[in-house]
Amino acid sequence: MEKFENPFLHAIAMGIFRLVNWSSNFQSLFLLWMRLTWGHQFFLVGLGKLADLDKIIQFFTTIGISHPIFCAHLVAYLETIGGLLLMFGLASRLIAIPLSIAMLAALSLAHAQPLSHFRFITEPSSLVGQPPYPFLITSMLVLFFGPGRISLDAWLKRWANQQPKY
């Protein structure tokens, strides 16, 4: 940390430095909260789709998705299994990739009307208000920042680092 000649500026810089260091301790708790909250929602939405696959197949057919039976099964199982993996923090970054792709596809296909003509740029609420949006944000958070220290991924990494090297 660079020391400023002005003691007032130095005190402000030190305060900001301490605040940033202190708040970074909550990163893993925030990631855990996001994984548990939205991973659970992914799981429930996936179970709902599995329970009523005919309705999902009909909807996919209506919006013109090719191979609607395959896609309905794929999305339902991806959301169910992906939600569980997110909740436990197991293979988190790996599962975040197909979950993010699925949510981008949902936004661009099933929720395309409110997002058409790039209206979401001037009216961000048209994007933020769409049901897949928080799922997309959570998937991307985990993809970019990892699951945090409170996860099975972190536990497995610590365990693997303690094993003897040959």
pLDDT in tens, the chain (166 residues): 677 788 888 889 888 989 888 888 899 999 999 999 999 999 999 999 999 999 999 999 999 999 999 999 999 999 999 999 999 999 999 999 999 999 999 998 887 776 677 777 777 787 888 899 999 999 999 999 999 999 999 999 999 999 998 8
Say if 154 falls within a structural domain: yes
CA distance 164 to 84: 31
Number of domains comprising the chain: 1
Structure tokens at 99: 């979950």
Give the global pTM. Answer: 0.84
Answer whether residue 22 is part of any domain.
no
Cα 47 to Cα 77: distance, rounded to the nearest angstrom: 8
Asked if 29 and 86 count as a contact pair (C-beta separation under 8 A), the reply is no
Q: Which domain holds residue 136?
A: 28-162
Residue 141 within any structural domain of the chain: yes
